[in-house]
Chain A
């Protein structure tokens, strides 16, 4: 066990030094968690290829505890969102996130996952996965190099070091409701926004009623 972890404020009798270690619960808990972060085997787009590159022999992220990639969300600790998140895919991603057991972390790899990236303006791209699920670490780059991914994962480890079991989300009472799964309607719909959508649709209706016949064409083309 490393020096930092074994940081007793108590005096240990000389005869059992090196046999007994005293530390805090937080520290031992965080230490064991940060060193076995299993990513979910889950590739979305181009960034996934660099993620595979980071797992392969030249970069090899298992040196840092990202030992095995797991295809099942139930066995994974960290979801690396590696690529463009589309409207068609986001219900699945949210479902996968809900299926992961706590404690769980999300890394947004690349600009697409962080904000939509080069495809942000597109009609079927979600501008950032953080619109739906909470993200712990953002890694810029298109695609981020494997080194950048490693750095991001180490940043996540540092973040874990800062946590305390008194305040973490998953030991709190009544805070475990899953994230509502988005619905594919005429466009993507977040169930949390239904009221807003209704209001907007009403406004659209009123607008359409108001426009004079000469403007109708313009409004039509706008709605598509």
Chain B
């Protein structure tokens, strides 16, 4: 909802709720604590009166050994500006917090995630299920006192793997086969897997709404997790009437790789290569987000040249990711693999540049806190210039010539899977999905980071919120990326690419930081809490692909089953980021 606000709207609120609010005064922390009972009314005022209509991220924090669980909310205004941070606390034993789904439907999956991994129960949530692990799994893995089967030590770096002249492997430390744990006196023969009963029930309850007297049978169809159209191990369960989708539920977690649990054991620098593996198409922008978050904590700033290199890499990544996703969108529309082959051709050229800069094609691990790991080798800037000035615009024109006015593409895409503007904001959609619905919200403009305020570029947005507009927004964004690249290549100065000496073990002062970038898929945020030790205490990723999926069922409602596949392609998910 776009509400006109005065700048002191928030001040009003703060004084009105003064009794139940408490500023977070721990050094390095910010925001406000609110009493649990007041959470929902306060958030309603926050949205309707103060204009914080976009709830970007929900993070659970375990304050073990204190008996305290915390949920941190980051609110933004879609007209731009900094965050409003709100926190609630509850006991670790009976962790119940009111759900914000009635106000911000976009938190649905994020709350499920917090329940799944931290055991925070959200009261009033319509469908609180395990979302990344499976129903029946024992324990809440992100709690600090939960230890995984391959547990070695609390923190990294571990002790020497080469103690007395021979290698020590984790398997030798933990010899049990597959090394899994079961509750005491557990009998596997008596075990009945929970299966999908709860899921199907939730699905069919949705179909009952607004049904006419005319009764027909509804068919439940599973697409995935092994399905050529799902872009990886993703599963959709749809209830169909004929060919029309009555309701849809995404099922994920098939690629849940414990990113956050591992991240909280790693040292700060060790997390950098793990961020590559989040959205594995665009590793450079993942690096960017994480580097920003930790740099905020450390209060370091990269030298000029490094800033430019970062922007160049991030924009090349955006181009690569968008062209890849358009190629695969066409795949989903039935133009099997030819457009994707065209896209991959350009991707290879960009990967060559990444490989020259970082040494790896896909998993670049190129950014460091306070700069980038090494300067560009000779000749790479020239190659980038050739690409940016000549080849990529030409290829983009070619792409557009084949696709943009193509009748089949338009018939399949126009008016399909519409997400209205207020739905998109409420569902916390981000990136091209949000912008195609008519919200010109781009973190590069709304809350500029790095040196984006120096460049001249426009925010692409659509008006209809359908698949076709998402396609157009991506194409336009590629053009804008090229525009930024041209300016960056023109202005890039010489000099160092790293402040100070590269360090293996950085010192990060205690505090919290939320670093966010406009990744190709949307707003990618990293919420990091440091307690002054070598490892982050909490490390949470606001994954745009994951949160964008919240809107999938809204878009898919009353569409044809064949279009659902294209819809998923238009959201452009990457499973590494969805499941983390």
Contacts and interface: CB of A to CB of B under 8 A. Distances in A.
Chain A complexes with chain B:
yes
Contacts of A185: 136, 182, 186, 188, 191, 193
B341 to A, nearest CB: 5
Contact of A53 (B181, B232, B344, B576): B344
Contact of B188 (A71, A96, A142, A183): A183
Given A86-B254, A194-B189, A124 B280 contact: no
Contact of A205 (B145, B185, B345): B185
A4 B304 CA distance: 62
Contacts of B6: none
B348 A58 contact: yes
A194 B188 contact: yes
A88 B256 contact: yes
Contacts of A84: 255, 257
B415 interface: no
Contacts of A122: 148, 150, 257-258, 261-262
Given A57-B345, A89-B254, A121-B148, A46 B277 contact: yes
B167 interface: no
A131 to B, nearest CB: 6
Contact of B145 (A83, A198, A204, A224): A224
A222 interface: yes
Nearest to A70: B228
Interface of A: 41-46, 48-50, 52-53, 56-58, 71, 83-84, 86, 88-89, 92, 96, 118-127, 131, 142-143, 145, 183-190, 193-194, 196-198, 200-202, 204-205, 207-208, 221-224
Interface residues of B, number: 66
B133 interface: yes
A124 B150 CA distance: 11
A224 B261 contact: no
A45 B344 contact: no
Contacts of B141: 123-124, 224
A48 B232 contact: yes
A10 B149 CA distance: 62
A188 B362 contact: no
A180 to B, nearest CB: 12
B134 A41 contact: no
B226 A92 contact: yes
B233 to A, nearest CB: 6
B187 A201 contact: yes
Interface string B238-272: 00000000000000011111100110010000000
A119 B228 CA distance: 25
Given A44-B255, A56-B344, A201 B186 contact: yes
Interface in B136-189: 136-141, 143, 145-152, 170, 176-189
B182 A197 contact: yes
B445 interface: no
Contacts of B576: 45-46
CB-based closest 10 A-B pairs: A122-B258, A46-B280, A186-B138, A123-B148, A224-B139, A187-B180, A204-B184, A205-B184, A56-B344, A201-B186
Query: Counting chain A CB atoms within 10 Å of each CB, which of B176, B226, B277 scores highest?
Result: B226
Given A58-B348, A201-B184, A124 B257 contact: yes
B150 to A, nearest CB: 4
B312 interface: no
Given A119-B258, A187-B138, A41 B348 contact: no
Given A58-B345, A187-B180, A198 B274 contact: no
Interface in B180-225: 180-189, 191, 193, 225
A203 to B, nearest CB: 9
B363 interface: yes
B118 interface: no
